[in-house]
Amino acid sequence: MNKLTLADLDLDRHQVLVRVDFNVPLSERPPTQPFEDVSYAVADDTRIRAALPTVRAIMEAGGRAILLSHLGRPKGQPNSSLSLAPVAEHLGGLLDGKVRFCNSTTGPLVDRTLRSMPDGTVLLLENTRFHPGETRNDADFAKDLAQLGDVFVNDAFGTAHRAHASNVGVAQRIPKAAAGLLLERELRLLGDALHHPTPPVVALLGGAKVSDKIGVIRSLAAMADHILIGGAMSYTFLKARGFNTGASLVEDDWVDDALNMFVAAAGKLKLPVDHIVSTDLRATAEARTVSRDIPAGFMGLDIGPATVERYLDILRRANTIIWNGPMGVFEKPAFAAGTHAMASGLAEVTRKNAITVVGGGDSVAAVHRAGLASQITHVSTGGGAMLQFLEGRDLPGVSVLTDRS
């Protein structure tokens, strides 16, 4: 990578401003005392743990880490249910209590806290999206943020596809902006899988919509040896190929593009040969297996067992696998078998030294649900960012970092 990384920065006794991705799910918890204000807890700390190597490296080098993150979509206004306070509490538990929290992002309270902060400790600032300037990449807000640090580190791959004040604006207004350890690892692993893969390369693509993924399918079609399609997007392809799709989700506006892509892929692109169908998402008792054509009134909700075998056969011979998008409505056990089988297939080939990469919010959730996340080479922390990277488009949060001279 031709960008500065954490190793290039002087950290000792420096104020190191770090953009992390602490956009984690919270769960409500009943207050234990009257008037208690933190009534939320971190429900899944995967993203917090993913940032620990960078934060610990700064602490151990004797720097002060000032952490910036967004949480949810508060639309430029403070919103107590989206405060980062519970995240600070959780982070404190992971870092021996060396974490402070400010309920603002800039201003006198932040300045005062910074002055009293010992080296080797951490300050988490409040949700950057409480400020209307964040998503607008407002110059004044970015300047105020930049004044908090001597240097800037971006470790938030998940927002790297957005040009916001806390990742792009701030990086433009500080002497040095570097990639954190997590961002560096994401870029290296995804970059290797995309640009220097060991063949055979298999792209496993599913999820809700063809329209969300058209750029990714096109880009992967150019480099992969096989493209395996599942999920709701397969019905737009199957309709284009002339099969009956019943009541399945089909994007009629994309049928022509799907057909063109199928033809251009010249046999590389594989579609499901059977399906788990039902009359309704909730009608799990009606679930049954059908081959190719889906009867009227039925929706395809998962890939069927013959497709699973066919896809596993191809996965087992792969040396590089890139997976985005569940094979079915994995949130419901009745329609999760296809997605779980693919997750197991990836774990199996990873044990045989294949490189496997999974990204996308729902795909990552599915791999965690299957208990297989630790058996995959790389589970990306980015959804939209990973898709944009796989499309071969620049990520603004990365482009803006200081070039290595």
Question: Which is closer to ligand ADP, CB of 53 or CB of 361?
Answer: 361
For residues 326 and 396, which CB has a smaller minimum distance to ligand ADP in the complex? 326
Q: How far apart are CA 225 and CA 275, in angstroms?
A: 24
The reply to whether 304 sits near ligand ADP by the rule CB under 6 A is no
The answer to whether residue 321 forms part of the interface with ligand ADP (CB under 6 A) is no
Catalytic pick among 47, 162, 185, 213: 47
Which partner from the list ligand ADP, Mg ion, none does 272 bind, CB cut-off 5 to 8 Å by kind?
A: none
Q: Given the complex with ligand ADP, which of 106 and 363 has the nearer CB atom?
A: 363
Q: Which of 54, 127, 350, 363 binds ligand ADP (CB under 6 A)?
A: 363
Cα–Cα–Cα angle for 349, 277, 271, nearest 5°?
45
Examine residue 331 and tell whether it contacts ligand ADP (CB under 6 A).
yes
Interface positions, 233-252, toward ligand ADP (CB under 6 A): 249
Cβ atoms of 166 and 193 closer than 8 Å = no
144's CB contacts (< 8 A; 6+ apart) are 106
Question: Which residue is it, tokens 């002087």?
Answer: 10
Q: Which is nearer to ligand ADP, 124 or 205 (CB)?
A: 205
Residue 363 contacts which entry, ligand ADP, Mg ion, none (Cβ below 5-8 A, type-dependent): ligand ADP
**Residue (of 400, 384, 79, 404) closest to 212 by Cα position:** 384
Residue whose pair of structure tokens reads 């990742």 in the numeric block: 167
Binding mask 364-393 vs ligand ADP (x if CB under 6 A, - otherwise)? Answer: -------------------x----------
**Cβ closest to Mg ion, residue 89 vs residue 331:** 331
Does 325 help bind ligand ADP (rule: CB under 6 A)?
yes
Nearest distance, CB of residue 162 and ligand ADP, angstroms: 16
Q: Which of 98, 209, 241, 268 is catalytic?
A: 209
Looking at residue 10, the DSSP 8-state letter turns out to be -
165-179 as b/e, with b when 16 or more CB fall inside 10 Å?
bbbbbbbbbbebbbb
Residue 328 touches ligand ADP, criterion: CB under 6 A: yes
Interface residues for ligand ADP in 181-240 (CB under 6 A)? Answer: 206-208, 212, 231-232
Helical segments of 138-254, H only: 139-146, 170-172, 181-195, 210-223, 233-240
Stretch near ligand ADP under the rule CB under 6 A, chosen from 28-36, 118-126, 156-164, 319-327: 319-327
Nearer to ligand ADP among residue 40 and residue 323 (C-beta): 323
Residue 75 designated active-site: no
Q: What is the enclosing helix (H) or strand (E) of 46?
A: helix 46-60
133 or 206: CB nearest ligand ADP: 206
Contact present, 345 and 311 (Cβ < 8 Å): yes
Smallest gap from residue 335 Cβ to Mg ion (A)? 16
Which residues, in sequence order, are bridge partners of residue 101?
124
- CB of 60 closer than 8 Å to CB of 11: no
322 binds ligand ADP (CB under 6 A): no
Would you call 143 a catalytic residue per the annotation? Answer: no
- Binds ligand ADP (CB under 6 A): choice among 180, 197, 326, 345: 326
Strand 151-154 to strand 177-179: parallel, antiparallel, or no bridges (unpaired)? parallel
Residues 6+ apart with CB under 8 A from 234: 206, 271, 272, 300, 303
Minimum separation from the CB atom of position 364 to Mg ion (A): 9
Q: Which of 76, 92, 384, 392 is catalytic?
A: 384
Tell the smallest beta-carbon distance from residue 269 to ligand ADP (Å): 17
**Spatial separation of the C-alpha atoms in residues 369 and 71, rounded to whole Å:** 23
In angstroms, the CA 354 to CA 348 distance is 9
**Amino acid identity, position 140:** D
Cβ atoms of 235 and 244 within 8 Å: the answer is no
Q: Is-catalytic flag, 13?
A: no
> Do the beta carbons of residue 177 and residue 142 sit within 8 Å?
no
Question: Is 180 an active-site residue?
Answer: no
> Active-site residue numbers?
47, 209, 361, 384
Which residues contribute to the site for ligand ADP (CB under 6 A)? 206-208, 212, 231-232, 249, 300-301, 324-326, 328-329, 331, 360-363, 383
